């Protein structure tokens, strides 16, 4: 019976994990100069890969960051993530990097969806409570009585 509880709780955990990604919405950036604080994801152009290799390393294909400053010629990003050719990805700690505007293509605005975030938080909380009950039942045996059994006659 313990294996059944473990399978059930692991399925529940795997089912909840995709909700973290669902807490965001993405849409094309519609303004030429984004506001400070806007979180974006953008492709690095071919010329940008060469121009930004000293700052990002070789083979960067996509960046994610928060706009710290922007004008028509350059965007300064607090980098969160850089994806590279070959499928590797590196997390950054909001280090500032200035990109000439021509080095970034197809910028997408990434926003937190409050409704989905609250739904995910509720489901995660419910899952944790359910897992705690299952775990407590598996450990405690579910006897429910603290008195010793009555001896047979």
pLDDT at 117: 60
pLDDT at 112: 75
Classify domain 25-112 by CATH number: 2.30.30
- Which comes out higher in pLDDT, residue 69 or 127? 69
* CA distance linking residue 104 with residue 98, whole number of Å: 11
pLDDT surpassing 60 at residue 63: yes
* CA distance linking residue 50 with residue 44, whole number of Å: 10
pLDDT digits (tens, 9 = 90+) for 3-40: 554 455 455 455 545 545 557 788 999 899 999 999 99
Count of Cβ atoms closer than 10 Å to residue 23 Cβ: 17
């Amino acid at each position: 019976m313990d294996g059944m509880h473990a399978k059930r709780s692991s399925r529940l955990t795997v089912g909840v994990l995709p909700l973290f990604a669902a807490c965001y919405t993405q849409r094309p950036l519609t303004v030429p100069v984004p506001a400070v604080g806007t979180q974006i994801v953008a492709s690095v152009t071919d010329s940008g890969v060469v121009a930004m290799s000293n700052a990002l390393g070789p083979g960067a294909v996509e960046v994610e960051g928060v706009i710290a400053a922007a004008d028509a010629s350059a965007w300064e990003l607090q980098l969160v993530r850089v994806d590279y050719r070959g499928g590797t990805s590196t997390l950054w700690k909001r280090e500032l990097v200035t990109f000439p505007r021509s080095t970034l293509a197809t910028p997408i605005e990434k926003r937190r969806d409050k409704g989905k975030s609250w739904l995910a938080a509720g489901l995660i909380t419910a899952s944790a409570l359910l897992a705690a009950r299952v775990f407590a039942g598996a450990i405690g045996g579910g006897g429910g009585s603290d008195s010793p059994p009555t001896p047979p006659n």
